[in-house]
Amino acid sequence: MTQSNRQILLVSRPEGAASVDNFRLVETPLAPLAEGQVRVRNHWLSLDPYMRGRMNDSKSYAAPQPLDAVMIGGTAGEVVESLNRKFKVGDRVVGMAGWQEYGTSDGSDLHVVETKHVPLAAYLGPVGMPGATAWYGLNRIIAPQAGQTVVVSAASGAVGSVVGQLAKRAGCHAVGIAGGAEKCRYVVETLGFDACVDYKAGDLYQQLKAATPQGVDGYFENVGGDVLNATLARMNAGGRIAVCGMIAGYDGEPIPLKHPQLLLTQRLLVQGFIVTEHLDVWPKALSELGALVAKKQLVYRESIAEGLENAPTAFLGMLKGQNFGKQLVKLA
């Protein structure tokens, strides 16, 4: 069967802010499968902040995304053709096929998932990389005890929403930071956080102080910049900061940490991490998270763009916080 595959390539690197001009949509014929290969029709593409880092040709935690190649990205879909005995047509799989409608591989990057109790797209969200990220940063770095205060930035997002809900389940006082009244309301009323600070509404530090009367023991950092500065000033002695994202600085304008001496005076632990370097915890994390999703004990929300052609715009919007929940692209 001859079909064509639509793909989005990175064709130039951003100078300052990323723009739609950095991407190009192309249509490519699908070659026949070779022995051992699998072809997946991707139903869902995940858009994540780390992709912005890959667009730069600079020292980061991974090699830069090559130019004129399909943009990297997590995907979930269905096997439509298989010359690999480990996969059969109809299998639901997650992988890293990138920004394209069809993925073709030897299968080593694919995992078959069950979709009776857990929706396929959830494997790109709470039961996928964002969920594992939340689980690792909270349990392995912050390691909160019942009664402690845990703050998470980008609290309504794919990672932050899981962090806060897991913190609540651990008996903590969970406080979110998010942009806008609507997101904050969602964080408290739907996700069940104890409080949420709207960084767009007035003095961030004063709001945070009011929301964390006992100070902050654990901080899950998804944002950086002013939010990090404000939270750092609320940290209790012995506090732990899991640094997962620095979205505020991705466009090449680093925002300084104003008071590094607090690291010493409060004896803080700060640990930057990327969850793909901790694959050993994924089975445990995803099994716990999958069970919670199946029992509807973990709430999550998706922001869905329709069609591959809209992926760049959705991605740029996400970098500006315009999404509300896990940003996905529905490919078919």
Does 268 sit near a second copy (CB under 8 A)? yes
Size of the site for a second copy (CB under 8 A): 34
Contacting a second copy within 182-241 (CB under 8 A) = 224, 228, 237
Q: Which of 170, 244, 308, 319 binds a second copy (CB under 8 A)?
A: 244
Binding track, positions 22-61, relative to a second copy; x by CB under 8 A: -------------------------------x-----xxx
Q: Which of 46, 82, 266, 323 binds a second copy (CB under 8 A)?
A: 266
Alpha carbon 283 to chain centroid distance? 18
Q: Are 14 and 296 in contact (CB under 8 A)?
A: no
Beta bridge partners of 216: 235
Does 264 sit near a second copy (CB under 8 A)? yes
Cα–Cα distance, 183 to 6 (Å, whole number): 34
CB of 57 to a second copy, least distance (A): 13
Q: Which of 163, 166, 170, 243 binds a second copy (CB under 8 A)?
A: 243
Cα–Cα distance, 295 to 241 (Å, whole number): 30
Sign, CA torsion 300/306/311/315: negative
The structure tokens 């998010």 sit at 178
Beta bridge partners of 102: 41
CB of 192 to a second copy, least distance (A): 28
Q: Which is nearer to a second copy, 32 or 272 (CB)?
A: 272
Q: Which is nearer to a second copy, 39 or 240 (CB)?
A: 240
Q: Which is nearer to a second copy, 213 or 256 (CB)?
A: 256
CB of 305 to a second copy, least distance (A): 26
Residue count (the chain): 332
Cα–Cα distance, 270 to 221 (Å, whole number): 10
Alpha carbon 244 to chain centroid distance? 9
Q: In Å, how far are 141, 215, 231 from 202, measured between CA atoms?
A: 31, 20, 15
Cα–Cα distance, 274 to 53 (Å, whole number): 12
The interface region with a second copy, picked from 20-28, 102-110, 242-250, 303-311 by CB under 8 A, is 242-250
Residues that bind a second copy (CB under 8 A): 53, 59-61, 224, 228, 237, 243-246, 249-250, 254-261, 263-274, 277
